[in-house]
């Protein structure tokens, strides 16, 4: 029996739970944006309902981590990992909230036809979802380099957001009946841009967990 | 107990309990044997120390009276007159050489008269058991054979017994000289062996380094503890009595008893026994010192104590109770030693108290030994009485040892 | 990352870290042999004044050996050979001209199992003072030492009672008071709380933090939480294949327990090897 077998098993369980939560958030974002593109009201409502489950998982993971800290008195790497875990789930929960907001936006835009096909917004979501997947992998592998690389992709998300803003402003200025839609779309784009920022925060904590260094990766 | 499935164990509990009970019985029996032996010894001694005696005067003291005054009321001059008239000149000379008649007190002259002239003698003595059980028979026997004799119940152990010196008549004999000799002996043994023994123990335990030399030394000390005491007697004879005769006889100091200008003195005997007892004291003290926990020494050193301060203030006080106990026990062994003292030359007939360490001497065990060898049956009683005195002395010493150890030890450990 | 500093009187934390360190005692290339057995090798440690330094490591790694060498107590075991230097006030305490008795007065020691003398509480403290030639007011010294050891209130009315009747924690504080009475600079503690219950342990730990204001404390402990709780610096020792102890890492406690530099340290403090 290895030393601290129970502790190792618990930590592995926490990691699995974080991955599961990550998948839930990725799914929520994916489906929120899909419902936006396809004007799928039912899907959007499902995303809204699913947020409660994400919040629940966040609490469960937090409780597990707190208990581990109290009972196992972790130090060094273990301590950094647990603290990082707590920080990650906070960021994931916020991203889940953003998925929720996107879904709500979808519901509000349901009666209207889109002024233009949605290209950049789904693209942003795709980049963001990949970033989530990759940073969580980096967390599992304790890979600081990978985390830094993921953080660098936020620039792409920001560019896409700027592009969306420019396009939307153009449409808004051309026809005042598009203003309401534009604002909704702007907000949705903003939410997806925030997702990128949250992932970058996660990257900073992954670097800390691996190296003990505090870094600033948000540009 | 539930009926479990058959396992690899077969506990045989009943058999084991029975075996245990058997061993317990064996141990109890061994203890009982010891108790019985001790009881037998005590009963024998007590039996002979008390009993009826038949007393008779050879010369009626009433006939020695003058002018209607009985013997015990006569003046010293008159008593001296009687003595010189009635005793042989040889005896008078010997008495004079021990102590001139003119210097003896009235009691001493009276005792002499009763002893030597009237010669109150015990013509027969009986044991306690006989005295208690066949009193009538004894009385009848006495009426038939010695009608003028007096029948008295006598305790051979008495105050008089303690303060009277040796005598050739059993009823007059006392242990005074022997008792004093033993006490002097204890004194010398303690004064010599205790500091030497404890000092050696301190050196060996605290200062000496672990090497071949000290190990040989240690083994030798253990061996010496087992050497038969008669060997020490031979050692004492060769070294103290003969080789160091000038020292032990007191000639070196100008003192000493001119009557015994040789080394057969209390000093020699004391030194011999001190040598005998020394290994015991060393070993016991070493163990006492070793029993002091090392942590005590460490805390002393950690406060900046030197080695000597640590020993004096902590190790010795911590081991003192055990050292004391061991010393008392070793000394009580020395009290009982007979053979070596016989070799060293204990006198068997000394009537005068030892005046200094350079005097002739005798001790209790030697006196007992000598009395049991005498022909008169009554000396058996006297010997038994002396044994009781010796036992009481030993008991007192051992009790003191235990009490001291408990008291000092408890005060240190609990405060 | 901003680290907290325990000692407010140092003033600004940044300057406290960059100022030249004040060392109470240092070891240089310390090697200790017990007979032919090489117990510890090449120990280089510097203990800062008025700080608590903990020495941790697995059993048999030589922690107590190193501690005992700091006040020449290791010489009491026959066959011990010490090479290298232990510098105290600039002088090597192993210099033949230095008297170990004087060293031990200035560098006191408290042991794992409390070992007060089987005398009264008063005498326990007075003895050390007396043999070191104390000439002042003894009563005052006793009270002062007992106060400093957080024991005065509990024993003030029973100073003549035998020390062995105190509880384990009280006895240990008495041993500390006894050491303090002779005014040392440094107090060495060899697992001082390992024989005590948790409450008594906490009291001793609080006391240590308080004592560090005036003295330098060096403590050997196998209780890692204790080391991380109370020490300012931590030294981690290990044994090599020949069972000789050596220094693996020495760092401020916050660094060592959050971000150790050596993997072996990491493994040990995370409990991943015995």
Q: In the sheet that C216-220 helps form, which strands lie side by side, from edge to edge?
A: C91-92, C80-88, C23-34, C37-48, C245-252, C233-239, C52-56, C216-220, C186-190, C107-110
- Mean pLDDT of all residues in C131-156: 94
Distance CA A24, CA A96 (A): 8
Taking Cα atoms as reference points, which of C188, C203, C194, C200 lies closest to residue C224?
A: C194
Same domain, B210 and B121: no
What region does B53 belong to: left with phi over 0, alpha with psi -120 to 50, or beta? beta
Domain endpoint, select from B99, B120, B155: B155
Contact C269 A73 (CB under 8 A): no
Query: Which ranges of chain A have pLDDT less than 70?
Result: 1-2
Same domain, B222 and B330: yes
Same domain, B248 and B375: yes
B310 lies in a domain? yes
Q: In the sheet that B120-125 helps form, which strands lie side by side, from edge to edge?
A: B120-125, B50-57, B150-155
Contact B303 C178 (CB under 8 A): yes
Per-residue pLDDT of B120-138, as tens digits, reads 777 777 888 888 888 888 8
- Mean pLDDT of all residues in B373-381: 80
CB B161 within 8 A of CB B174: yes
- Collapsed DSSP state (helix, strand, coil) of residue C274: coil
> For position A139, what pLDDT does the model report?
97
Same domain, B231 and B357: yes
Same domain, B216 and B299: yes
CB B93 within 8 A of CB B63: no
Exposed/middle/buried for B218, CB within 10 Å: 0-12, 13-18, 19+? middle
Q: What is the CA radius of gyration of chain C?
A: 19
Q: Where are the alpha helices (DSSP H) in B336-377?
A: 339-344, 364-372
Contact B304 C165 (CB under 8 A): no
- What average pLDDT does chain C have? 89
Q: DSSP of B83-95, one letter per residue?
A: HHHHS-HHHHHHH
Task: Look at the block and give the residue holding tokens 């053979």.
Answer: B339
> For position B192, what pLDDT does the model report?
95
B75 lies in a domain? yes
Distance CA A82, CA A88 (A): 10
Contact A4 C273 (CB under 8 A): no
A217 lies in a domain? no
> For position C119, what pLDDT does the model report?
92
CB B57 within 8 A of CB B119: yes
- Mean pLDDT of all residues in B377-387: 84
CATH value at residue A114? 1.20.58.220
Beta bridge partners of residue C108, listed in sequence order: C187
| Chain B contact present for C176, CB below 8 A | no
Beta bridge partners of residue C47, listed in sequence order: C25
More confident residue, C11 or C273: C273
Structural domain boundaries enclosing B108: 48-155
| Domains of chain A: total | 1
Exposed/middle/buried for C64, CB within 10 Å: 0-12, 13-18, 19+? buried
ipTM of the complex: 0.89
Given a cut of 80, is residue C4 above it in pLDDT? no
Per-residue pLDDT of A11-27, as tens digits, reads 999 999 999 999 999 99
Report how far Cα B68 is from the mean position of its chain's Cα atoms: 46
Residue C9's pLDDT band (cuts 50, 70, 90): very low
> For position B153, what pLDDT does the model report?
79
* A abuts C (3+ Cβ pairs < 8 Å): yes
Residues 6+ apart with CB under 8 A from A165: A186, A189
Share in percent of chain B as helix, strand, coil (round to 5): 70, 5, 25
Distance CA C218, CA C233 (A): 9
Given a cut of 60, is residue C18 above it in pLDDT? no
Exposed/middle/buried for B32, CB within 10 Å: 0-12, 13-18, 19+? exposed
Given a cut of 60, is residue B257 above it in pLDDT? no
Contacting subunits of A (3+ beta carbon pairs below 8 A): C
- Mean pLDDT of all residues in B198-215: 92
B12 lies in a domain? no
| Domains of chain B: total | 2
CB B130 within 8 A of CB B144: no
Strand C186-190 and strand C216-220: the pairing is parallel
CB A206 within 8 A of CB A135: yes
- What average pLDDT does chain B have? 84
Structural domain boundaries enclosing A9: 5-211
- Give me the half-sphere count of Cα atoms (radius 13 Å) on the Cβ side of residue B58: 12
Measured in angstroms, the CA of A205 and the nearest CA of chain C are apart by 13
The count of residues in chain C is: 274
> For position B200, what pLDDT does the model report?
95
Domain endpoint, select from B155, B190, B219: B155
Same domain, B246 and B358: yes
Given a cut of 70, is residue B2 above it in pLDDT? no
Contact residues, chain A to chain C, C-beta under 8 Å: 2-4, 7, 73-80, 212, 214
Of C228, C266, C272, the CB nearest to A4: C272
> For position C234, what pLDDT does the model report?
96
> For position C36, what pLDDT does the model report?
92
CB A155 within 8 A of CB A199: no
More confident residue, C149 or A2: C149
Given a cut of 60, is residue B260 above it in pLDDT? no
Same domain, B57 and B202: no
Given a cut of 70, is residue B13 above it in pLDDT? yes
The CB density around residue A55, as the number of other CB atoms within 10 Å, is: 13
Measured in angstroms, the CA of C224 and the nearest CA of chain A are apart by 10
> For position C147, what pLDDT does the model report?
95
Tell me, what DSSP letter sits at residue B117? I
Taking Cα atoms as reference points, which of B282, B130, B143 lies closest to residue B204?
A: B282
Cβ-Cβ contacts under 8 Å, C228 against chain A? 75
Percent of chain B with pLDDT over 90: 31
Distance CA C259, CA A78 (A): 10
Distance CA C23, CA C17 (A): 14
> For position C190, what pLDDT does the model report?
95
CATH value at residue B307? 1.10.3720.10
Domain endpoint, select from B126, B155, B184: B155
Domains of chain C by range and CATH?
8-269 (3.40.50.300)
Least CA distance to C1: which residue of chain A?
A: A214
Distance CA B89, CA B76 (A): 19
B13 lies in a domain? no
End-to-end CA distance of chain A: 46
B166 lies in a domain? no
Q: Using a CB cutoff of 8 Å and minimum separation of 24, what contacts does C81-85 make?
A: C81/C32, C81/C33, C82/C30, C82/C31, C82/C32, C82/C33, C83/C29, C83/C30, C83/C31, C83/C32, C83/C33, C84/C27, C84/C28, C84/C29, C84/C30, C84/C31, C84/C42, C84/C43, C85/C27, C85/C28, C85/C29, C85/C30
Contact B298 C73 (CB under 8 A): yes
The CB density around residue A215, as the number of other CB atoms within 10 Å, is: 15
B171 lies in a domain? no
A73 lies in a domain? yes
More confident residue, C65 or B57: C65
Whole-model pTM: value is 0.80
Residue C71's pLDDT band (cuts 50, 70, 90): very high
> For position C19, what pLDDT does the model report?
42
Distance CA B49, CA B57 (A): 22
Strand C23-34 and strand C37-48: the pairing is antiparallel
| Chain C contact present for B211, CB below 8 A | no
Same domain, B345 and B257: yes
Measured in angstroms, the CA of C265 and the nearest CA of chain A are apart by 10
- Mean pLDDT of all residues in C9-30: 64
What region does B164 belong to: left with phi over 0, alpha with psi -120 to 50, or beta? beta
Same domain, B224 and B131: no
Given a cut of 90, is residue B231 above it in pLDDT? yes
Contact A76 C225 (CB under 8 A): no
| Count of H-run helices and E-run strands, chain A | 7, 0
From residue C267, alpha-carbon distances to A12, A51, B208 in Å are 18, 40, 46
What is the signed CA dihedral for C147, C153, C158, C160, rounded to 10 degrees? 0
> For position A51, what pLDDT does the model report?
96
Same domain, B150 and B181: no
| Count of H-run helices and E-run strands, chain B | 18, 3
Per-residue pLDDT of B160-196, as tens digits, reads 788 777 776 666 677 888 888 888 888 999 999 999 9
Per-residue pLDDT of B15-31, as tens digits, reads 999 999 999 999 999 99
Least CA distance to C259: which residue of chain A?
A: A76
Q: How many contacts (CB atoms, under 8 Å) link B and C?
A: 74
Cβ-Cβ contacts under 8 Å, A10 against chain C? none
Residue C12's pLDDT band (cuts 50, 70, 90): very low
CB C94 within 8 A of CB C86: yes
- Collapsed DSSP state (helix, strand, coil) of residue B23: helix
Pull the structure tokens for residue B300: 């002393």
């Amino acid at each position: 029996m290895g030393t601290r077998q129970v502790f190792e098993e618990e930590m592995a369980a926490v990691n699995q739970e974080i991955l599961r939560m990550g998948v839930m958030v990725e799914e929520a974002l994916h489906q929120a944006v899909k419902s936006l593109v396809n004007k799928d009201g039912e899907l959007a409502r499902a995303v809204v309902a699913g947020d409660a489950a994400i919040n629940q998982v966040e609490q469960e993971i937090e409780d597990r981590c707190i208990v581990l800290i109290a009972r196992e008195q972790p130090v060094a790497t273990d301590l950094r990992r647990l603290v990082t875990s707590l920080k990650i789930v906070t960021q994931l929960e916020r991203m889940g909230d953003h998925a929720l907001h996107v879904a709500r936006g979808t519901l509000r835009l349901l009666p209207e036809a889109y002024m233009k096909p949605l290209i950049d917004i789904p693209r942003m979501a795709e980049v963001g979802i990949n970033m989530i997947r990759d940073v969580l992998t980096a967390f599992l592998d304790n890979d600081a380099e990978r985390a830094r690389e993921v953080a660098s992709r936020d620039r792409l998300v920001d560019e896409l957001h700027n592009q969306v803003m420019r396009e939307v402003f153009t449409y808004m200025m051309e026809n005042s009946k598009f203003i309401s839609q534009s604002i909704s779309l702007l907000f949705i784009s903003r939410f997806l841009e925030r997702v990128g920022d949250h992932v970058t925060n996660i990257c900073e904590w992954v670097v800390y967990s691996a190296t003990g260094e505090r870094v600033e990766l948000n540009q | 107990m539930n009926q479990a499935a058959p396992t690899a164990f077969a506990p045989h509990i009943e058999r084991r309990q029975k075996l245990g009970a058997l061993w317990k019985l064996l141990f109890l029996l061994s203890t009982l044997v010891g108790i019985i032996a001790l009881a037998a010894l005590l009963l024998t001694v007590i039996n002979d120390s008390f009993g009826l005696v038949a007393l008779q005067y050879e010369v009626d003291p009433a006939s020695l009276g003058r002018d209607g005054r009985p013997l015990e009321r006569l003046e010293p001059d008159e008593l001296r007159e009687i003595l010189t008239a009635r005793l042989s000149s040889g005896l008078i000379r010997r008495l004079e050489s021990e102590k001139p008649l003119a210097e003896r007190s009235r009691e001493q002259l009276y005792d002499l008269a009763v002893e030597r002239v009237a010669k109150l003698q015990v013509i027969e003595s009986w044991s306690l058991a006989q005295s208690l059980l066949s009193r009538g028979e004894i009385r009848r026997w006495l009426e038939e054979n010695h009608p003028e004799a007096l029948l008295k119940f006598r305790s051979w152990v008495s105050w008089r017994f303690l303060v009277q010196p040796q005598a050739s008549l059993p009823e007059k004999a006392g242990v005074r000289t022997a008792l004093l000799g033993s006490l002097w002996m204890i004194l010398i043994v303690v004064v010599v062996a205790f500091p030497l023994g404890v000092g050696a123990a301190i050196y060996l335990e605290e200062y000496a380094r672990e090497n071949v030399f000290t190990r040989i030394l240690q083994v030798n000390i253990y061996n010496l503890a087992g050497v038969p005491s008669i060997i020490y007697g031979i050692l004492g004879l060769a070294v103290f009595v003969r080789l160091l005769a000038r020292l032990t006889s007191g000639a070196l100091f100008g003192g000493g008893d001119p009557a015994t200008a040789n080394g057969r003195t209390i000093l020699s005997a004391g030194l011999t026994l001190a040598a005998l007892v020394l290994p015991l004291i060393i070993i016991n003290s070493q163990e006492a010192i070793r029993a002091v926990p090392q942590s005590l020494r460490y805390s002393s050193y950690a406060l900046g104590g030197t080695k000597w301060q640590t020993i004096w203030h902590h190790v010795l006080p911590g081991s003192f109770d055990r050292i004391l106990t061991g010393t008392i026990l070793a000394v009580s062994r020395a009290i009982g030693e007979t053979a070596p003292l016989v070799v060293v030359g204990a006198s068997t007939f000394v009537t005068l108290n030892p005046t200094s360490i350079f005097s002739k001497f005798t001790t209790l065990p030697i006196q007992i030994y000598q009395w049991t060898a005498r022909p008169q049956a009554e000396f058996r009683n006297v010997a038994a009485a002396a044994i009781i005195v010796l036992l009481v002395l030993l008991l007192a010493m051992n009790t003191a040892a235990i009490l001291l150890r408990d008291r000092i030890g408890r005060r240190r450990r609990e405060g | 990352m901003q680290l907290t500093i325990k000692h407010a009187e140092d003033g600004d934390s940044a300057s406290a870290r960059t100022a030249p360190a004040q060392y109470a005692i240092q070891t240089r290339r310390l090697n200790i042999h017990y007979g032919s057995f090489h117990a510890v090798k090449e120990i280089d440690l510097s203990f800062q004044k008025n700080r608590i330094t903990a020495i941790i490591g697995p059993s048999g790694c030589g922690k107590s050996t190193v501690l005992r060498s700091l006040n020449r107590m290791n010489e009491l075991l026959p066959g011990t050979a010490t090479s290298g230097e232990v510098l105290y006030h600039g002088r090597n305490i192993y210099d033949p001209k230095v008297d170990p008795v004087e060293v031990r007065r200035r560098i006191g020691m408290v042991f794992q199992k409390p070992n007060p003398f089987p005398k009264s509480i008063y005498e326990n403290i007075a003895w050390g003072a007396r043999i070191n030639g104390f000439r002042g007011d003894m009563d005052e010294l006793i009270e002062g030492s007992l106060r400093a050891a957080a024991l005065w209130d509990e024993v003030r009315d029973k100073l003549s009672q035998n020390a062995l009747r105190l509880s384990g924690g009280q006895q240990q504080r008495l041993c500390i008071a006894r050491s303090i009475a002779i005014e040392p600079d440094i107090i060495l503690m060899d697992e001082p709380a390992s024989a005590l219950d948790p409450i008594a342990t906490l009291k001793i730990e609080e006391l240590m933090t308080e004592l560090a204001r005036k003295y330098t404390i060096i403590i050997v402990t196998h209780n890692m939480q204790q080391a991380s709780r109370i020490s300012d610096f931590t030294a981690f020792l290990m044994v090599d294949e020949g069972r000789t102890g050596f220094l693996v890492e020495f760092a401020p406690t916050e660094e060592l327990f959050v971000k150790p530099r050596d993997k072996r340290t990491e493994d040990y403090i995370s409990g991943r090897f015995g």
